[in-house]
Structure 1
Amino acid sequence: MLNLVDLSRTDLNLLVLFEAVLEERHVGHAAERLNLTSSAVSHGLSRLRRLMNDPLFLRTPKGVVPTARALELSAPIADVLARVRNVLSAAEPFDPASSTRRFTIGAPDGISAVLLAPVLGELARTAPGIDISIRQLLPTPGETRPERAWRGAFADLDDRVTDIAVIPTGQIPERFHVGGLYDEDFVVAMRAGHAFADEPTLARYCELQHLVVSLGGDPHGFVDEALARLGCTRRVALTVPNFMFALAILAETDLLCALPRRFAAMHAARFGLESVDAPLELTRFRINAVLPKVALMDAGVAWLLVILEKAQPPLPPAGRSSATI
C-alpha cells in the first residue's frame, strides 16, 4: 500500500485518523474520539487525500461517506493497524484480570440471551474490569442465501463495529475465522395451559395463529419453508422484532411461536410459557463465533473468543417443558 519512500515521509497516525473517520462517518465525531480538533482531522484528511490520490470521504448533510477507494483501503489499513497494535501490546501483554477494555459482540437476541449470563459470570470471576456491549443482529429481510442474509454482520466485523459476531450460519467468507459454539434447533412455545401442548399435531399446528420474529416484519420464515415442503401453510397473525418481545406477547395471547430450544429453556418459564417439540422437521442451525482472521492477533479478542466457546449451556432434553413441570 505504501512504498518505502512514502513510509519514510508519512505519519502513520494518518492511518489511525482514516480508521476513525471510516468508523464514525463524521469528522467531528472522529475528532472527539481521537481527542483532536475538527480542523486537525480535516487537515489530516487533506494529507491523506494527497497521499492516496483520492477524495477518500465525501461530505453529506449528516457527515461523510467513504469513496470506493476508501472502502478498498479499509481492510489493508485495518490489517496494518492490527499488526502494529499487536507489536506494541507485546510490551504489556493483555491481562483480563486487570484490563478495562470494552468488547462488542454482535448476535441475534435469541443467541445473546443464551450466552450472556455465563459470559458475565466468567467476567465477574476472572475479568471484573472488562465491559461488554451487545449489538443486535438479525438477517437481512428477504434474503435466503446465508452469506447474503448476514452480510450486515460481516460488514460490522470488517468495519470493526463489532469484535465478534455470533450467528446461526456456516456460510462464512474466507477472510473470517470461524469458531463453532453449539448446534441449535427450535421448539414451539406458547402460554402455559395452551391446548396445543396436549395435542401437538401438524394439523392443529396449521390451524392455529402464529407469531414470527422478524426485524423487517416479513412473516415468511424457515418454518413456512418446511411447511411448504409438506404442502401445508399457517397464518402468521403477528411479527415482532426480537425474541424477548415474543416471550411477553406469547404470555398474553393464544399465539404459537418457534423459539430456539436453549433460549426457551432459559427464559420461557419466567413468562409462564411452555414448549413442545415441533410437529414437523425444522432446520438445525450451527451457531458460530465469527471474527476477522487478523483480529486473532489481538490477545484480548482471542481471549474473548475462548470465553464464548466455554459459555454455551447444555442442550435441554427434547419433549415438553413448562413452568409447572
Structure 2
Amino acid sequence: MLHEIDLSRIDLNLLVLFEAVFEERHVGRAAQRLNLSPSAVSHGLGRLRSLLGDPLFLKTPRGVVPTQRAEELDQPIADILSRVRGVVATARPFDPATSTRRFTIGAPDGVSAVFLPPLLEKLAHAAPGIAIGIRQLLPRQGETSPAVAWQDALAELEARMMDVAVLPYDDPPVRFWRSLLYQEDFIVAARAGHPFAAAPSVSNYCRLRHLVVSQTGDSHGFVDNVLAGQGLSRRVALTVPNFMFALAVLADSDLISALPRRFVELHASRFGVIGIEPPLPLGKFALTIVAPQPAMRDAGMAWLVTLLEGLGGGAQNPADRRVR
C-alpha cells in the first residue's frame, strides 16, 4: 500500500486522464475529451507510468492499446472515480427540475421505442433541462444464452459508455444493480387484411413467410428456439436491421413477423399493421434495468432509474425489484 506521503503527491486528474485514454484508445481523442493538448496528455501519461511502474499504454498505428497492468487497473480506478463523483454529486444535491445533465440509456431499438415516448413526456414536465441519449444495443450474433449474448453490452456499461441499460436479461452478475422494467411476450404482426388474421392456426403460422429483425442478418431468433422445442420450424424469408423498418416492410407485403407485444401496440397502427394473437405461445422474457452498483450511489442515476421503473410498472411488485 502507498504511504500517506505518497498519496499526498498524487494528482487525482491523472486517474481521470487514465480513464479517458483507456476508453478512447487514442491520445488525441482523449485530449479532445479532456480539453487538453495531446502533449499535456502525453506528459500526464509519463507521470502515471513513473507512479505505477508500467508503460500502461503502447503505441500502435491506430492509437494506443492498454497493457495487462492497465487492464487490471481499469476497474479499480473506475470505482475510485465513481465514488469521488458520488461525493461531488452529494455535495451538490441533484434537482431534476433545474439539472442540465445528459444521461445515456442503452437498449435494443424495439425496447427503447417502447419506453422513450413516455419518458420524454415525463421529462418535459419534471426535468426540462435534462437531455437523453439512446445507445442501440445488440446481442452477440448466434448466441442464445442471455449471459453470453449481452456480455458486450455489460462491458460497455461498465466502461461508462452509457449510464444505464435496458436488456432482455433478468440475472446479470452481482456487480450490477437490476430492477424489472416490464414483462414482454411476442405477438404476430402483419398488414391489415392479411389472411392469417382470419385463420391463425399453427400450420398457417409455420407455412407463411416470416420477417426477422436482426442487425447482423442472422435469421435464427428466440422464436425459432421455442418452435424447435415443439418440433416445429418456420421459413424466414427476410431479415431487416430494426423494428421500425420491420413495420414498414410488413405494411406492404404478405410477410408476418413475431414482434414484441408492447412495441406493436404502440407503433403498428400508424403503419397499417395489426397484431394477431399467436396460435401458440412464442415465449416470454423480462426487460431489466441494469446499472453498475457503484453508479447507483449517484442521486441523479437513482432518480433516472426510479423514473424508468415507473414507466413499465416494474416497481409495483417489491418481489420484482432487487438491489444486490
- Could you tell me how far apart the structure 2 residues matched to 1:56 and 1:197 are? 61
The alignment status of 1:278 with 2:274, answered yes or no, reads no
Matches within 5 A, 1:153-164: 153-164=153-164
- Could you tell me how far apart the structure 1 residues matched to 2:300 and 2:31 are? 25
Alpha-carbon distance, 1:2 to partner = 5.0
Secondary structure of 2:181's counterpart equals: strand
Map of 2:65 onto structure 1: 65
Alpha-carbon distance, 1:295 to partner = 0.2
Matches within 5 A, 1:292-307: 292-307=292-307
Matches within 5 A, 1:178-217: 178-217=178-217
The alignment status of 1:11 with 2:11, answered yes or no, reads yes
Map of 2:268 onto structure 1: 268
Map of 1:246 onto structure 2: 246
Quick one: structure 1 residues 147 and 25, their matched pair in 2 at CA, closer, same or farther if it must change by over 3 Å? same
Check whether the contact 1:115–1:313 (CA below 8 A) recurs between aligned residues.
no
Matches within 5 A, 1:1-325: 2-312=2-312
**Structure 1: unaligned runs, 5 residues or longer:** 315-325
**Structure 2: unaligned runs, 5 residues or longer:** 315-324
Alpha-carbon distance, 1:313 to partner = 7.3
Deviations along 1:244-301, one digit per CA (max 9) or x if unpaired, are 1111111111111111100000000010001111122222111100000000111111
Check whether the contact 2:227–2:282 (CA below 8 A) recurs between aligned residues.
no
Alpha-carbon distance, 1:177 to partner = 0.1
- Could you tell me how far apart the structure 2 residues matched to 1:53 and 1:210 are? 58
Secondary structure of 1:99's counterpart equals: coil
Quick one: structure 1 residues 255 and 45, their matched pair in 2 at CA, closer, same or farther if it must change by over 3 Å? same
- Could you tell me how far apart the structure 2 residues matched to 1:129 and 1:92 are? 17
Alpha-carbon distance, 1:84 to partner = 1.1
Check whether the contact 1:114–1:312 (CA below 8 A) recurs between aligned residues.
no
- Could you tell me how far apart the structure 2 residues matched to 1:196 and 1:89 are? 55
Map of 1:318 onto structure 2: none
Aligned residues: 314
Check whether the contact 1:190–1:250 (CA below 8 A) recurs between aligned residues.
yes
Deviations along 1:69-93, one digit per CA (max 9) or x if unpaired, are 2222111111111111222222211
RMSD: 1.5
Alpha-carbon distance, 1:3 to partner = 4.9
Check whether the contact 1:118–1:312 (CA below 8 A) recurs between aligned residues.
no
Letter paired with 1:115: F
Check whether the contact 1:114–1:313 (CA below 8 A) recurs between aligned residues.
no
Give the structure-1-normalised TM-score: 0.93
Give the structure-2-normalised TM-score: 0.93
